[in-house]
Structure 1
Amino acid sequence: MDIQTVSLPRIGDPAPDFEANSTFGPIRFSQYRGRWVLLFSHPADFTPVCSTEIMALARRAPEFEQRGVQLIGLSVDSVPAHLAWTRNLAAHLGHPVPFPIIADLDMTVSRRYGMLHPGESTTATVRSVFFIDPEGVIRALVYYPLSTGRNIDELLRVVDSLQVTASHSVSTPVDWRPGQPVVVPAPATQQAIETPDDARQMGLEYQEWYLRFKTIE
């Protein structure tokens, strides 16, 4: 298959299902239905930037677990390579890498998820991240070049935003963090526009009729 002809999954698309070997044994992606998943690819085992990312994700895996998020890594390296690498990283961490890393040797999963970008590399996956909801729908995705390591705080922030907006039908403003006010939907009709006093009585922080905030307990 020509990787240049494969369309990239989009926000709102069902996450492509797959079966693959991993450091945790064979997995089928649909087995994670019912919980959030963060599926991420890295270019190669035993490389500097990837090593810093895996160690950071392993250290902070409990924070993802608290949010009900399953971490799943992927590269086109083999299971033996993954195992040797993660054992080496575990020696530095002081504990095992607590999530599976897929061995996508034939690049099947990489192609389905658009992780191979010929302009960057034809043999290594870029640093892609897919945020997938419990229904198996892609809710956000981010691509980084091989040269740029990811920010774990930002990955957690996106998870928090996706979960609060899904639960409360709101949006999150720029630089939002949990505990800060969220944005409520703007009125859709003239009749629905509140006065500033009415909005405040409803517990809203009023800036403009189309820009109102509230705090979620």
Structure 2
Amino acid sequence: MAWDVFSIIGTIAFAISGAIVAMEEEYDLFGVYLLGIVTAFGGGAVRNTLIGVPVSALWEQETMFQIALISITIVFIFPQNLLKHWHRWGNFFDAIGLSAFAIQGALFAVRLDLPISAAIVAAVLTGSGGGIIRDLLAGRKPLVLREEVYAVWAAIAGVIVGLGLFKQDIWLYVIFVSMTALRVLSYMRNWRLPLKSLRNNNSLK
């Protein structure tokens, strides 16, 4: 049950995120749908490639594709209702997608009896892979490559799920809510990872 719930939540959140970024960049109708789909399923495709699952397995998710297309269509038809609140809620949608897909990715690795390292990688790639592809296609610096805390939360979720500390669905939902809240809080409080800049290093001149 938790697997399906996280799949649906992540798909909707990232499809909406990709579609809105595309409209912000003034992409046409095709570009909006393309970026929305790539954002929703890009992370899963990268994950499957690295852990040995055929990428073609994505095409078996017909229901998820339909959900993504419906979400993108709603955003495209009623953009003003969402865009005017996007700067307030945009990072919230991204946090939801990150959390849902990170847990789903870790569960995917656990189902295949892969080691905890694979669960962590699957969590990070599933949670942030779609967003990375979205930002690159939109000509933006990916969130995961900035100094703000982002993929770290996905890695922590991967550790928890990979160790099998909480196997019941209710605990997975608790992890989801906690991870989403921490991601939003890290954005609002401007939490940063250590940063070393070489731009002003005179010794390099």
| Structure 1 and Structure 2 fold alike (TM over 0.5) | no
Which of structures 1 and 2 has the bigger CA Rg?
Answer: 1
**Hey, which of these two has a bigger chunk of helix by percent?**
2
With the length of structure 1 as denominator, give the TM-score of the two structures: 0.29
**Hey, which of these two has a bigger chunk of strand by percent?**
1
